[in-house]
């Protein structure tokens, strides 16, 4: 019989303990600047690349009001396409470049060591001017690479433990981590930092969504192997870490 993939006891505690910094774990660790992984990922042969409009959010909303309004919103108007301008604003809010110092780029969300190991992908179900399919966001060139055409709503919803909110959302953000980008500097502790980074990014998405009058719902429950398979990640060098849906919230969602 095939061997079952049973997690080791207290694997979470092991993870925390084995990624702790100690004088011993840091001894002898040096930075090899010749082996720094590329700061940006891009595909050599995407189906096409789509330049994004300049990100301009509608109006000026007080940030403190956004904190008060921020909620996870799951009830969407499914048949209304999202504007490309609004999607551009959301992408900029989560991973947009804000400054450059030498070879280091700074973004709207912080990242340990300014290494930014988190990559942004989208399942676009209905957005004006975009084909339905799976896209990869390139913050450096500020565009989208189309990787797969077609309807992935049911597959992604099933992989996310049957969460039907994905099937109704206009867009689903899918964040992966390229582990080497953080591990180059932080060794095993990089595994901690990718989740911290993802939290920063997701909160920016929530606040930007509230500012645009859109509903956002983070999704942390999913079958990792299934999402990795759909997205084409190997699950080790690059692996899914977080997701979030974006949609037009129903009028009764005013709380």
pLDDT band at 28 (very low <50, low <70, confident <90, very high): confident
> In this structure, what are the phi and psi dihedrals at residue 67, rounded to the nearest 5 degrees?
-60, -40
Mapped to the 3 state alphabet, what secondary structure does 36-77 carry?
CCCCCCCCCCCCEEEECCCCCCCCCCCHHHHHHHCCCCCCEC
Asked whether the predicted pLDDT for residue 27 surpasses 90, the reply is no
- Specify the pLDDT at position 8: 64
- Reference 57, options 99, 108, 92; nearest CA is 92
Can you tell me the distance from the alpha carbon of 78 to that of 227, in angstroms, rounded to the nearest whole number? 22
- Specify the pLDDT at position 13: 78
CATH numbers and ranges of domains, the chain:
61-247 (3.40.109.10)
- Specify the pLDDT at position 70: 84
248: left (phi over 0), alpha (psi -120 to 50) or beta: beta
Return the structure tokens found at 169: 């959302």
- Reference 201, options 104, 91, 105; nearest CA is 91
Tell me the pTM: 0.85
Lowest mean pLDDT among 57-66, 142-151, 152-161, 235-244: 57-66
pLDDT in tens, 46-100: 999 999 998 765 556 688 888 888 888 888 888 899 999 999 999 999 999 999 9
Determine what percent of the chain is predicted with pLDDT higher than 70.
Answer: 93
Nearby residues of 191 by Cβ (< 8 Å), 6 or more positions away: 15, 19, 179, 182
Lowest mean pLDDT among 10-19, 167-176, 190-199, 209-218: 10-19
């Amino acid at each position: 019989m095939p061997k079952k993939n049973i997690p080791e006891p207290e694997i979470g505690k092991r993870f925390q303990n084995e990624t702790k910094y100690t004088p011993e774990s840091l001894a002898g660790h040096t930075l090899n600047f010749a082996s720094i992984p590329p700061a940006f990922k891009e595909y050599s042969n995407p189906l096409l690349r789509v330049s994004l409009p300049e990100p301009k959010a509608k109006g000026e909303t007080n940030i403190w009001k956004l904190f008060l309004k921020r909620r996870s919103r799951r009830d969407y108007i499914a048949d209304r396409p999202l504007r490309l301008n609004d999607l551009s604003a959301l992408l900029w809010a989560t991973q947009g470049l804000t400054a450059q110092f030498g070879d280091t780029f700074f973004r709207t969300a912080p990242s340990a060591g300014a290494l930014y190991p988190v990559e942004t992908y989208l399942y676009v179900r209905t957005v004006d001017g975009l084909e339905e399919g799976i896209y990869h966001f390139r913050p450096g060139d500020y565009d989208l690479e189309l990787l797969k055409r077609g309807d992935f709503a049911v597959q992604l919803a099933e992989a996310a433990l049957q969460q039907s909110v994905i099937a109704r959302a206009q867009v689903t953000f899918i964040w992966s981590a390229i582990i080497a980008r953080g591990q180059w500097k932080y060794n095993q502790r990089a595994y901690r930092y990718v989740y911290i980074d993802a939290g920063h990014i997701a909160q920016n998405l929530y606040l930007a969504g509230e500012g645009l009058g859109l509903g956002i719902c983070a999704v942390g429950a999913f079958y990792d192997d299934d999402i990795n398979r759909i997205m084409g990640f190997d699950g080790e060098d690059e692996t899914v870490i977080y997701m979030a849906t974006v949609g037009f919230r129903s009028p009764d969602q005013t709380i």
